[in-house]
Chains A and B, each alone.
Chain A
């Protein structure tokens, strides 16, 4: 499944300056793994040593926080938009 993967500026610096990437996978975790393989410097910012998301990085699948779905195990569909947002904001 081909999806778009959007990064905040602070992380885009580690992806050759690209804030929007094309990627693929059957689950969100697959997509993150593929992006991590392509950009080794970005990899440790996307997931922790156990392979899960950090508490201060929020992933949205289309408009939904993946914590309301099934985390990295959430299936993705063709054309989905994945957005990575730094969680320290608001309040």
Chain B
């Protein structure tokens, strides 16, 4: 495979950091030079990178010849020049799932399997890969985040690899797998009494005071663009076409928002044709502010206090909730709020039908897809992709007391046959 990012023999890799693009406010359009700033000075709206509409874009064959990472789509990522860090994240498998398709009653179904994303086993590796290159370009020596777990893992891992200091803030009650999967990289890990929204407030104030590169706070404009690569990969892996429907979990609402943007950018570039996929979002009922917004037809998020075992999507005040709702409505999609016991059943169903072990957010996605199919929103004419965004080994607590306990026997055949008879 030819690669554009791995230098040929005799060539040296550039050590010059890529140049982050300037930004503009999504609400009022005010311009902002490239900087570790995510908030518009005019209206406090969100800043987004501004791409040169006349930049040369690659064709499908060129993209396909590049290395298997999210950087194969670098013309749609917020930099000029080549990235220096986290060059091998992304390009996760798109797994055909016929047994699960039958359970849902849809024509075809694939799993976008970011439970094996590199290096920390969630889709957050994508956004951090983008943000950490921005941090390096801005000369920041400290990165960090407010996290429900997966982002903590991704920032800690990628900062360690890049030789950057990291400050990671998490709610006090995260699953042990996510705590250990962060602490092992030796960041400054701080547990905060409170829920994610409390952590997020603290981090917003810390970013303001200390000048760190907090990836989902002041680097957020650069960070979020990494999520578009999920859409790009789905299109390429389906043979340069889009599915008819995509179901994704929702926490802050950024993923669904960026999926819409990604599918739109590939259509605009002529890399795919046909209608944009309908976007569907799933949340746990115990923390479903975006579901409520879409169902109510309203415009503003009403925050909630999270009460769910799906901690990775337990954001009661989602920053992109309004935009996620717009993306869902704009594509003709819908939402599903699922009970905790149903998302646990979703974890098991995905494992038993596809061999993929996902965490609680993935369980919500599967359970949400089942609910949407029962409502007739997904049907036999559909080609559906489920975005499975994290690995089940991080949230084994969700399955405690749910799975049958394995019997314990001595290492003797007669004990095995006593359990199961002679016809094994």
Contacts and interface: CB of A to CB of B under 8 A. Distances in A.
A67 interface: yes
B319 A83 contact: no
Interface in B46-80: 46
B254 A60 contact: no
A2 to B, nearest CB: 22
B300 interface: yes
A86 B194 CA distance: 19
B201 A91 contact: no
A85 B27 CA distance: 18
Interface in B156-212: 194, 196-198, 200-201, 203-205, 207-208
A36 to B, nearest CB: 15
Given A56-B43, A65-B197, A85-B201, A90 B315 contact: yes
Interface stretch (B3-11, B301-309, B365-373): B301-309
A86 B204 contact: yes
Interface in A21-60: 45, 54-58, 60
Contacts of B294: none
Interface residues of A, number: 24
B18 interface: no
Contacts of B45: 56, 88
Contacts of B301: 55
A87 B71 CA distance: 30
Contact of A86 (B39, B318, B322): B39
Interface in B194-247: 194, 196-198, 200-201, 203-205, 207-208, 216-217, 220
B83 interface: no
A41 B251 CA distance: 35
A65 B303 contact: yes
A56 B317 contact: no
Contact of A9 (B38, B208, B317, B319): B208
A89 B208 contact: no
B204 A57 contact: no
Contacts of B320: 91
**Listed residue (B197, B207, B208, B303) with the most chain A CB atoms within 10 angstroms of its CB:** B208
A36 B242 CA distance: 50
A87 B317 contact: yes
Interface of B: 27, 38-39, 41, 43-46, 146, 194, 196-198, 200-201, 203-205, 207-208, 216-217, 220, 251-254, 300-303, 305, 315, 317-320, 322
22 contacts: A8-B205, A11-B44, A55-B300, A55-B322, A56-B45, A58-B201, A63-B198, A65-B303, A67-B303, A68-B303, A85-B204, A86-B44, A87-B44, A88-B44, A88-B220, A89-B146, A89-B203, A89-B207, A90-B197, A90-B204, A91-B315, A91-B319
Kindly list the 5 A-B residue pairs having the minimum CB-CB distance in the complex, ordered from nearest. A91-B252, A90-B200, A88-B46, A86-B39, A89-B204
